[in-house]
Structure formats: structure tokens, C-alpha cells
Amino acid sequence: MLTATDLAQMQDVQVDSMMDACDVMTYIAGAINTYGKPAPATYVSSGAIACGVGYIRGASSAEARDQVSTLRVQVRLPLDTTVTGKDRIEVQKRLGADITAITYGILGEIRRGPSCLTCDVFQITDGS
């Protein structure tokens, strides 16, 4: 059985292995106008944190018959990260190097493991 010390060490190792930088963009619902229509949601930066971004090889969509290929991405976050399924995650650095930021939406449930949070994500694009 794991002791509290063992668990703390596992969590420290997990965070130390997160070599990317992400910003959890907190979802803010748009206000409802006089016609009952919501304004678009906004996302507020919570600041850069360590994260781990992993690309899952060989993953493809259920639409394989239509030759649609997708890239599955999983993000690891420290256990103390505040994140919900409506938030977005912006990856700002990969392996310590600055990159053009990539914004992801959260797909499904955020999973809590013994040493980190994990979530599957999908890339948010401008539709082009």
C-alpha cells in the first residue's frame, strides 16, 4: 500500500516530467440579451502552468470509411489544477520551446489519477 510520502513523491515526479506549458482558459458564459439569445462565451486566461501533451499514434475517427483521419491528443495537468469540461487548454510551449499557441477543447471527462489529471482534447480551429 502506498504511503502519503510515496504518493507525494509520485506527484512530484509527474509534475517534473511535464515539459510543456499550457494555459487553462476558464469558460465564461455569455450574457443573455433582451431577445433571450446568449452572447458568445469568452475564455479567461488563468496563467501558464506545466503540462504534458501527448499525441496518440494510430488513432483515427469512427468515420474511417470516409477517409477522415484525426489526431488524438491527451493532456496531463497537475492535480491542483482547476479545470472543467467547458474550459479550453492553450498549449504555449512544447518541450520547453515557444510555439504558436494551439487551443484545445476538452473532450469527455477529466480524469483524476494518483499523480495527475488527464483529459482528451480536440483542436479548436477557425473553420478553415
Residue 107 lies in a domain: yes
Q: Is the pLDDT of residue 79 over 80?
A: yes
Question: Whole-angstrom Cα distance, residue 97 to residue 59?
Answer: 26
Grouping H, G, I as helix, E, B as strand and the rest as coil, residue 9 is: helix
How many structural domains compose the chain? 1
Task: Identify the pLDDT of residue 2.
Answer: 76
**What is the CATH classification number for the domain harbouring 23?**
2.40.10.270
Residue 113 lies in a domain: yes
Question: Whole-angstrom Cα distance, residue 73 to residue 41?
Answer: 24
Residue 128 lies in a domain: no
Tell me how far CA of residue 64 lies from CA of 1, 57, 68, 71, 118, in angstroms: 44, 15, 6, 13, 26
Residues 6+ apart with CB under 8 A from 67: none
Reading phi first (left if > 0) and then psi (alpha if -120 to 50, else beta), residue 81 is in: beta
Residue 10 lies in a domain: yes
Residue 110 lies in a domain: yes
Structural domain for 50, as ranges? 4-28+41-123
Residue 36 lies in a domain: no
How much is the pTM?
A: 0.79
Residue 35 lies in a domain: no
Q: How confident is the model at residue 45 (pLDDT cuts 50, 70, 90)?
A: very high
